Structure 1
Amino acid sequence: MLRNGLEPWHLLIVAVVVVLVFGSKKLPDTARALGKSMRILKSEAKAMKEDGAPATVPEAQTPVTTVPVEPPAATH
């Protein structure tokens, strides 16, 4: 029953489900966005390998966090 895992008809069923879920008009946009995301992921991974260290935020660009201060309590 489970000879090769995926048979050609399995891929056909997956393709039909994808078309039904996303619609035929949105598929090109979805594929384009997925391709762009993959290119960005590849370039970032390559940049990290070349640097040899994970990307960090430089000290000058570290966001400043502030602690909210409560107003003084009114005395009666």
Structure 2
Amino acid sequence: MPNIGPAELIVILLVALVVFGPRKLPELGKSLGHGLREFRKSTQGLKDELDGANIVATPVVQQPVTVAQPAAQVAAAPINAAAVTPPRSVEA
């Protein structure tokens, strides 16, 4: 996309003058400037907020990951007979 030169800018201003009229054109320029100023403030505020979040953030400590045993190894593990208690009978 080519840059806008002085000739193109004059043509754009003349078209805007014809479309909006001489009374409405300064008001449109003022509102456009106000909108751009607000946009810059909001983008700068967002940039500052993101930069501040990066500075204040605490590092996350990685915890060691434990891997569960596969089901085949658990099923093949020997059972300690002394640790197993027989079921209690319920008497009425």
Q: Give TM-score, length-normalised by structure 2.
A: 0.46
Q: Which residue of 2 aligns with 1:48?
A: 46
Aligned-residue identity in percent: 26
In structure 2, distance between residues paired with 1:5 and 1:41:
23
Give the gaps of 5 or more residues in structure 1. Answer: 54-76
Q: 1:38 aligns with which of 36, 39, 43?
A: 36
Structure 1 residues 7 and 31: alpha-carbon distance in aligned structure 2, compared to 1, 3 A threshold: closer
Aligned length: 50
Give the gaps of 5 or more residues in structure 2. Answer: 52-92
Structure ID, larger Rg: 2
Deviations 1:9-50, CA, capped at 9 Å, x for gaps:
433322211100111100111001001101100000000001
Letter in 2 for 1:35: G
Q: Which runs of 4+ in 1 moved over 6 A?
A: none
Structure 1 residues 51 and 32: alpha-carbon distance in aligned structure 2, compared to 1, 3 A threshold: same
Letter in 2 for 1:32: K
Q: 2:16 aligns with which of 15, 18, 29?
A: 18
